[in-house]
Amino acid sequence: MILIKQNIFTKTLLLLLIITCINNHLLSNNISEQNNDYIINKKYTYIDKIFKKNIKTVLCFQKDQNLSIPLINLKTDEKISLIFDDHSDNVNTYFYRIIHCNSNWLKSDLTESEYIDGFFKNEIYDYELSFNTIKKYINYNLELPNENIDFLKSGNYIIEVINHLDSIVFHKRFMILENKVSISANVKQGTLNKNKKIKHEIDFNINHEKFYISDPYTDIKVVIKQNNNEENKINDLTPIFVKNNVLIYDYDDENNFFAINEFRYFDIKSLRYFSERIKNIEHDSIDDINKVILFKDKSRSFDLYSIYPDINGKFIIESQEARNSMTEADYAKINFKLISEKI
């Protein structure tokens, strides 16, 4: 059983290629209660993590592009949007700090004044109470940069949200880019016979004609992520060839991803009507929340492959009956079942 805000769940091969010039940052989502001592250690690898159980649906993306990777260009009009829900009974005061990280998502050696123009700690003032929902919550919004803070450096960043006791509430990653090099990539069927029917191969070149690189084998770090999934990435490829100002990454095996299946989906943008994968919607009187029961799914291991457009395991917050889905979409418990052989 999982608690989910009203949404449309639904995949395509998205490959995020991150090139960092030795001073940049990475993603996951756990819930745990921990104190700040756990974070102070400079060897801590920052990931997307929720530390308070009352916080739900933490979303970070490029403004007005809800399914986008949280990534903007330095010194442009582009903005990062951060949205989250607090399932507390009362409005809480939250603040945020910005942490600059290196390519391994460890805290960098830069001081705040070297990468921030503005205040180092700011309050989140933009919030709104849920309306006409069974599950009550407070929806908080933040845009970066804003009148209180701007960025001086590109790189990997963490938004650290804290409460009035200075206790960490959650961490969320985002990235700021500078277009110093150009990248051309080609996604194709695996070159090797063993990979042809099961993997995608990603060959790419980096052209740094306008950007000096002293040693491309040590100064450049490459990370390729499938569907921006932190658990499915390729790290630290080095160029096979260096030709003038072009770094060539034309591997046969090391740059391959399993093609994976299409994601399963369900649609609960209405909790009044059953969409095609919904078996029943009922009210859980114990927890006072909607409960959605999906039809049983079966293994697709022996099915012929069929293309089904999806959004790579992401989700959209939407309610058919709402004017503002961010505050009028309700939460629901989701019951999943998969028919499988006994283990």
Domain boundaries, the chain: 22-177
More confident residue, 278 or 300: 278
Give burial (CB, 10 Å; 0-12/13-18/19+) of 35.
exposed
Single out the residue of 120, 200, 189 nearest to residue 152, CA to CA. Answer: 120
**DSSP code string of 32-49:** ----THHHHSTTPPP--E
Its pTM surpasses 0.75: yes
Percent of residues, the chain, with pLDDT higher than 70: 88
How far is it, in rounded angstroms, from Cα 127 to Cα 293? Answer: 31
How far is it, in rounded angstroms, from Cα 306 to Cα 335? Answer: 26
The residues pairing with 85 across neighbouring beta strands, listed in sequence order, are: 56, 139
How far is it, in rounded angstroms, from Cα 314 to Cα 10? Answer: 7
CB atoms within 10 A of CB 188: 9
Q: Average pLDDT for residues 38-59, to the nearest whole number?
A: 86
Q: Average pLDDT for residues 267-286, to the nearest whole number?
A: 92
141-196 per-position pLDDT tens digit: 999 999 999 999 999 999 999 999 999 999 999 999 999 999 999 999 999 999 99
Round the average pLDDT of the chain to a whole number and report it: 89
pLDDT at site 13: 37
Contact 259, 200 (CB under 8 A): yes
pLDDT at site 303: 78
Name the CATH topology of 22-177: Immunoglobulin-like (2.60.40)
pLDDT at site 343: 72
pLDDT at site 2: 61
Residues contacting 73, CB < 8 A, separation 6+: 176, 177, 178, 179
Percent of residues, the chain, with pLDDT higher than 90: 75
How far is it, in rounded angstroms, from Cα 99 to Cα 79? Answer: 17
More confident residue, 265 or 52: 52
Name, of 6-15, 36-45, 78-87, 318-327, the range with top average pLDDT. Answer: 78-87
- Is 121's pLDDT higher than 80? yes
More confident residue, 267 or 15: 267
Name, of 13-27, 50-64, 214-228, 327-341, the range with top average pLDDT. Answer: 50-64
pLDDT at site 131: 96
Contact 229, 26 (CB under 8 A): no
- Is 6's pLDDT higher than 70? no
- Is 296's pLDDT higher than 80? yes
pLDDT class of 299 with cuts at 50, 70, 90: confident
Q: Average pLDDT for residues 80-104, to the nearest whole number?
A: 97
